[in-house]
Copies of this chain bind each other. A is one copy, B any other.
């Protein structure tokens, strides 16, 4: 049996249970560089415990819709922020935890200038650039300890093109 999901627009309120949306505020928190640059300050709750944060680049192949979602994963030791460097739009897939396993996933549609920070131990899908190869800067915990838990669905989910 396949089950179906539809993308919805990404916004901070709907995403709050899973992490933070990293996007420009209506106004910058302060102007720097003699007024020529707005700083939108401290938009993510990096949560890496006693570990070390690092910056990596992820280069992902496009995942056109409809998309088969077989698996979600989570990182027990730290949050993971995805910052778009080059993408034509992408999906952020997360799922609530229901007693140690993922509940029904939520699929958010993000634009080329919007990032997210996914909270520690939050179930999420893999990187899904939609129309073209995607390049993302990732800020997450660097360390040798095992920090990946995968959950494979018995029945896969199909993410359909959005209807809105």
Chain A residues in contact with chain B, CB under 8 A? 22-24, 28, 32-34, 36-44, 46, 52-61, 63, 81, 83-86, 112-113, 115, 117, 126-127, 135, 137-139, 142
Indicate if the CB atoms of B22 and A39 lie closer than 8 Å: no
Known contacts A24-B57, A83-B55, A85-B84; A137 and B115 CB within 8 A of each other: yes
Indicate if the CB atoms of B53 and A46 lie closer than 8 Å: yes
Interface of chain A, helix or strand or loop or mixed?
strand
Chain B residues in 8 Å Cβ range of A115: 55, 85, 137
CB distance from A74 to the nearest CB of B (A): 14
Q: Given B43, B46, B139, which contacts A57 in the complex, CB threshold below 8 Å?
A: B43
Closest-by-CB residue of B relative to A84 is B85
CB distance from A34 to the nearest CB of B (A): 8
